[in-house]
Chain A
Amino acid sequence: DTGVSQDPRHKITKRGQNVTFRCDPISEHNRLYWYRQTLGQGPEFLTYFQNEAQLEKSRLLSDRFSAERPKGSFSTLEIQRTEQGDSAMYLCASVPGGPRENAYEQYFGPGTRLTVT
């Protein structure tokens, strides 16, 4: 499978625990985006990376959230001291980049569904 993969697909955790999600983009895609989708809403932007550099963070990304993309390959999104309001689907998308017309197409992974009890 050469698409974007995310792990785990589902995570149930108790309030106050830390969780970490992983996204593996399509090989050689240099941009990687994280979005959060709550029930009944469209996805909302959280942050994105160009290779290993984190270039933009949304106001939605509180201090409890941290994202990394070491070596510009896979990315991790960590949530510390989870709250019930963090329950959502966390989506990852990767982008090939470059000057071609289709270079900015975002390819989405299946998401990680987080439930905080």
Chain B
Amino acid sequence: AQTVTQSQPEMSVQEAETVTLSCTYDTSESDYYLFWYKQPPSRQMILVIRQEAYKQQNATENRFSVNFQKAAKSFSLKISDSQLGDAAMYFCAYRRGDDKIIFGKGTRLHILP
């Protein structure tokens, strides 16, 4: 069965600094998608970034980028120039094709002013 592990329950970063959230996953599939979702205190889940496993190039979305290491089954999220609005729970997630999403337990990110 596929699993997603986030080893950092909480992290803090100074405003304007860079932070990296870690994620590892386990799967025997070769074709899948990986995601980082953000869940602010209002609790609506928002997609931050997506990576297709067949793409070697790491995805980027403005201040958010990933380091996708397929062989190591690692998928970290880097947030540059952290802003107060980035404070939230961040979930790493896996999906095989059009299947259900499997989420990690999340990392709570605090932004220090």
Chain A interface residues (CB < 8 Å from chain B): 31, 33, 35, 40-45, 48, 56, 89, 91, 93, 95, 97, 101, 103-106, 108-111, 113
Can you show 13 pairs from A to B with CB atoms below 8 A apart?
Answer: A33-B101, A40-B106, A42-B103, A42-B104, A44-B103, A45-B102, A91-B45, A93-B101, A104-B33, A104-B95, A108-B46, A111-B43, A113-B43
- On whether the beta carbons of B100 and A56 are closer than 8 Å, the reply is yes
B55 to chain A, nearest CB (A): 11
Of chain B, the residue at the smallest CB distance from A9 is B43
A39 to chain B, nearest CB (A): 11
Which A residues are in CB contact (< 8 Å) with B78? none
B25, CB-defined interface residue at 8 Å: no
Over the window 13-46 of chain B, the binary record of Cβ atoms lying under 8 Å from chain A Cβ atoms (1 yes, 0 no) is: 0000000000000000000010000000011111
Interface of B is mostly: strand
Contact of B105 among A31, A42, A56 (CB under 8 A): A42
Q: Which 9 A-B pairs have the closest CB atoms?
A: A42-B103, A108-B45, A45-B100, A104-B98, A110-B44, A42-B91, A43-B103, A42-B105, A42-B106
B47, CB-defined interface residue at 8 Å: yes
Our count of residue pairs bridging A and B at CB distance below 8 angstroms stands at: 51
Of chain A, the residue at the smallest CB distance from B104 is A42
Beta-carbon contacts under 8 Å, B42-64 to A: 42-47, 50, 52
Q: Which of A56, A89, A95, A106 counts the most B-chain CB atoms under 10 A from its CB?
A: A106
Which A residues are in CB contact (< 8 Å) with B101? 33, 35, 43, 45, 93, 106
Of chain A, the residue at the smallest CB distance from B43 is A111
- On whether the beta carbons of A31 and B43 are closer than 8 Å, the reply is no
A110→B93 CA distance, assembly (Å): 18
B66 to chain A, nearest CB (A): 17
A108→B91 CA distance, assembly (Å): 14
B85, CB-defined interface residue at 8 Å: no
B7 to chain A, nearest CB (A): 14
- On whether the beta carbons of B45 and A41 are closer than 8 Å, the reply is no
